[in-house]
Chain A
């Protein structure tokens, strides 16, 4: 019998080489699916064929293709709704199947980038408008303007389309919308003998009302001299986010007169006197007057407003849905955020569908995007009451007088349909994630009431300017 001596060195070398090869194989981009086939235009004559983008490769006809889309969904009922969309799409386009990956919102961005890095590029993804600049500036998304032009689709049919633009080009189509409003618990206001908030209310008036709505364990209010701020049992309002992402911060800050960036996103403007004053008001609102809970003050699980710990909150249209689903018994209503030096500010945003540049099936991805943002499907989306429409002409259909309070139309319909002042998205530069880090680092002591805004703002502006001026790929 032939015996081959295997030295330890040779064994380990062989093992390393084999494992290395396995590793390389594992890290290689996933193999492409069978040769893709575009859905024949004849499948749905009413749809105009999407323009073939430059990156699209010629695909032989005849076989089925599979689209991969990546969505932030975790609740089973939500997934069911989206799978029904898939079913309807596949019925309309039998040559295209859609495979979905549904991830909880918190993990969505990490997993999306990870699968893309692994070579499994989704054909259609969800993007929030605050991420459009970040993604588009990396030159990984497909501009949709040529496709919209070919299909003669007016982008202004979509709400918050400005939020989906980067350097003048459109990188996503909104599929929903959300406008920030001040929601309030009517029972708590009436019990405290405080007038209900109105759209004419100023921030100063709101602060005075808020003091009377903030109550300690002995029943004293924040307006009383012997109020105990360590034993608060009810607050006037849940603090909006303290970092400059999204419309929650923007509505409050801008209405107080604050400015964030110049129009080109090259310079930060928080060192201007009106910005400093706005930020200081926001900080004092919580840390000095204690009318909003400090971090960690509420330990009960659930949304503080919905569980009855605060008399007000920032919310959008879906707050009504959650209050009803949870069968909350208190009376509620909503209005605009108060006015300040910046006047009345109506801000909102949307998530939308976007197509990565590296998709293997750009034409089919566009067909799916159009399908999901079409009038027919959008009507189904808004019928759930959980979401609002991305299509401007359907926004009036969101309002259901038997489900919503009368103010709903003023807040969630008029600002998107040309009646009165119109809603705007919050400014969201490409480096927003890193801006949030330097912002939180500098502003945390301010929100805790330990430092004044004027003491941190110059250094913070310099850091943000540096991030704004960092070169981008496009």
Chain B
């Protein structure tokens, strides 16, 4: 019983501030509620409206575009960074801190910083392009480039994934590499046949978390572009926010939130299913072989 008592602060918090609002939002998704007027029951009306809402399609497309490009890129760069940070060189702990630092920088401060870097007239990015004789770009202000620019910016924040990869890399027994070296394996063979399979549970974890986080992309678009230009960065959560806190359509915003929840759930379940084909759990094999 004492165990439950000890965890009850968290449980009470969870029920009050997570599960409770979630349940409330299910009910609200069936209501039309503009905050200052009493809610009215509309059944599945919000969901029907959502199917025909062009901004839902636009924001879903934008979010999917961002997710499917940024997550793989993010994983690859974080893995490369982790491999570099796993080298036995001097001052390595300082390098690790340096790479992790952006993860603890406030998102709003980072967003403002990047808006300066990619400023079309005075930004550092265009200055570099022009140094090489390349034309200046509109970056966040160009509808064709705004999303790729956000993807580029997302790479700045690779610290958390890098640390998890680093922990995974350090958990791979040296004996495996030693055995491979004796067999004459080169660097690539060791990476492909030892590092990647042994790291696959960590890659899987970062993939799942990365997709979940990417579907909820919000801060940068809210601060830098506010969804523009021409809706190029109108991500799903930004549209949800607008409905909730600018148009005060809480019922519709709740319906949007539940659709997002279902999308993320489907993607996560799909990944769990696909994981059986490519994720290697050494522990499971040991269990099976015992």
Contacts and interface: CB of A to CB of B under 8 A. Distances in A.
Partners in one complex: yes
Contacts of B247: 433-434, 437
Contact of B230 (A26, A230, A441): A441
Contacts of B19: 16
Interface in B226-255: 227-231, 234, 242, 245-248, 250
B230 A444 contact: yes
Contacts of A15: 4, 8, 11-12, 15
Q: How large is the interface on B (under 10, 10 to 19, 20 to 34, 35 or more residues)?
A: 35 or more
A394 B143 CA distance: 49
A8 B143 contact: no
Interface in A213-269: 230-232
Interface in A130-184: 135, 138-140
B141 A448 contact: yes
B45 to A, nearest CB: 13
A56 interface: no
Contacts of A140: 36-37
Interface string B257-285: 00000000000000000000000000000
Given A140-B37, A294-B121, A23 B20 contact: yes
Interface in A397-452: 433-434, 437, 440-442, 444-445, 448, 450
Nearest to B121: A297
B16 interface: yes
Nearest to A459: B54
A117 interface: yes
Given A11-B1, A19-B20, A450-B143, A116 B36 contact: yes
Contacts of B36: 113, 116-117, 135, 138, 140, 356
Q: How large is the interface on A (under 10, 10 to 19, 20 to 34, 35 or more residues)?
A: 35 or more
Interface string B54-90: 0100100000000000000000000000000000000
Given A6-B1, A23-B15, A299-B116, A441 B246 contact: no
Contacts of B15: 15-16, 19-20, 23
A19 B19 CA distance: 10
Contacts of A296: 115, 119-121, 140-141
Contacts of A198: none
Contacts of A469: none
Contacts of B12: 15, 18-19, 22
A309 B267 CA distance: 49
B122 interface: yes
Contact of B120 (A19, A294, A442): A294
B37 A295 contact: no
A110 interface: yes
A437 B19 CA distance: 32
B108 to A, nearest CB: 13
B42 interface: no
A299 B120 CA distance: 11
B242 A437 contact: yes
B228 A299 contact: no
Contact of B246 (A23, A114, A433, A450): A433
Contacts of A442: 230
A445 B231 CA distance: 10
Nearest to B250: A117
A142 to B, nearest CB: 13
Contacts of B115: 296
Nearest to B245: A110
Contacts of B138: 448
Nearest to B20: A23
A340 B12 CA distance: 65
A464 to B, nearest CB: 14
A473 interface: yes
B152 interface: no
Contacts of A27: 24
Contacts of A437: 55, 242, 246-247
Contact of B37 (A19, A138, A299): A138
A444 B20 contact: no
Contact of A117 (B24, B35, B55): B35
Nearest to A296: B119
Given A12-B4, A299-B116, A445-B230, 9 more contacts: A11-B4, A23-B15, A117-B36, A295-B141, A433-B247, A434-B247, A445-B143, A448-B138, A448-B142
28 contacts: A8-B4, A11-B1, A18-B12, A19-B11, A19-B12, A19-B15, A20-B15, A20-B20, A113-B36, A117-B35, A117-B36, A135-B36, A138-B36, A230-B136, A294-B120, A294-B121, A294-B141, A296-B119, A297-B119, A297-B120, A297-B122, A299-B119, A356-B36, A433-B247, A437-B247, A444-B230, A445-B143, A445-B230
Interface of B: 1, 4, 8, 11-12, 15-16, 19-20, 24, 34-37, 55, 58, 115-116, 119-122, 136, 138, 140-143, 227-231, 234, 242, 245-248, 250
Interface of A: 6, 8, 11-12, 15-16, 18-20, 22-23, 26-27, 110, 113-114, 116-117, 135, 138-140, 230-232, 294-297, 299, 356, 433-434, 437, 440-442, 444-445, 448, 450, 473
What 10 A-B pairs are tightest by C-beta distance, nearest first?
A19-B15, A444-B230, A117-B35, A444-B229, A113-B35, A23-B20, A116-B36, A445-B230, A11-B4, A441-B231
